[in-house]
Amino acid sequence: MIILAYTVWFLSPSPPITAFLKSAEGKTVLSETPVVTLIACRNMWLEAQEQVKQLIKQANAYILDNVVLTDRGSALKTLVTTPRWMLTGKKNAFWRIFPRAGIHNNDIVAAQRFGKALLFSLLHGNVKNKNPVLTGLKAATVDQRLIGSEKIARRSFLIWGKIFRTLGPQGHLLRKLAVIIYGLFLIIVVATIVPLTMIIRTLLKPWRKLAIEKELKYFEGPSGSNDDRMEKFS
């Protein structure tokens, strides 16, 4: 079994992990092996995991379970605290309203339940039958309000990527200008589209119950957000 821990950058698996999954060495290691993905990020990981699913499939491996640890702060507050942490190294809470950045220490300590459950499953031979072994442990919880904005933002990232490549090689003046425009665009998108889609999805929730259930089942799979086995492994 392989535990593939990764973090998310711009709604994609961070470049070192993508490179590993695409490399001949990575594919050799992964081939025909059950993989437990372990994501640690702010709170937008759905599109990244979609890419990891594809890459793991291409490596002829399969995802047994997915565990996600995210920042406890609200989607809006972490839009401030995460870049602050990234750009200044400051993780502390500030101005009374902004919480400490990053994954809460208690969540890191509580993640030992996954290790215990994995060990239990390995010792009892449960891993061989390809069914998830980390169900009932609140492994992956999805905020349905963020599903829409992730899709829109990722599409826009792909378009921007194409624009960058057509403008010239890395370091080209036009490309540098485009980076500045992109930076502004990103701030505007984050400040408008993300909250807007969250509000729209919240308003539409009563009429989209079945569709939301389906989306949650898909994105929270294979391990899910149920907590009925928490006591056994905590």
Ligand X SMILES: Cc1cc2nc3c(=O)[nH]c(=O)nc-3n(C[C@H](O)[C@H](O)[C@H](O)COP(=O)(O)O)c2cc1C
User: What residues contact residue 156 under an 8 Å CB cut-off, 6+ apart?
Assistant: 185, 189
Binding of ligand X at residue 37 (CB under 6 A)? Answer: no
Enter the tokens of residue 53.
Answer: 């699913």
Q: How far is the CB of 129 from ligand X (least distance, A)?
A: 32
Binding ligand X (rule: CB under 6 A), the pick from 21, 44, 137, 139 is 44
Q: How far apart are CA 55 and CA 61, in angstroms?
A: 9
Q: How far apart are CA 213 and CA 53, in angstroms?
A: 21
The CA angle 2-215-73, to the nearest 5 degrees, is: 75
| Binding segment toward ligand X, per CB under 6 A, in 38-46, 55-63, 171-179, 185-193 | 38-46
Binding ligand X (rule: CB under 6 A), the pick from 41, 52, 55, 194 is 41
Enter the tokens of residue 144.
Answer: 């349905």
Q: How far is the CB of 14 from ligand X (least distance, A)?
A: 7
Q: How far is the CB of 149 from ligand X (least distance, A)?
A: 11
Binding ligand X (rule: CB under 6 A), the pick from 4, 17, 36, 43 is 43
CA proximity to 181, closest of 156, 206, 215, 148: 156
Q: How far apart are CA 40 and CA 186, in angstroms?
A: 22
Give 41 or 63: the residue with its C-beta nearer to ligand X.
Answer: 41
Residues 57-96 as x/- pattern, contact with ligand X by CB under 6 A: -------------------------x---x----------
Q: How far is the CB of 222 from ligand X (least distance, A)?
A: 20
Touching ligand X, residues 4-33 (CB under 6 A)? 7-11
**Preceding peptide of 222 cis, ω within 30°:** yes
How remote is the C-alpha of 111 from its chain's centroid?
Answer: 16
Enter the tokens of residue 186.
Answer: 């990103």
| Binding segment toward ligand X, per CB under 6 A, in 15-23, 37-45, 50-58, 160-168 | 37-45
Where along the sequence are the contacts to ligand X (CB under 6 A)?
7-11, 41-45, 82, 86
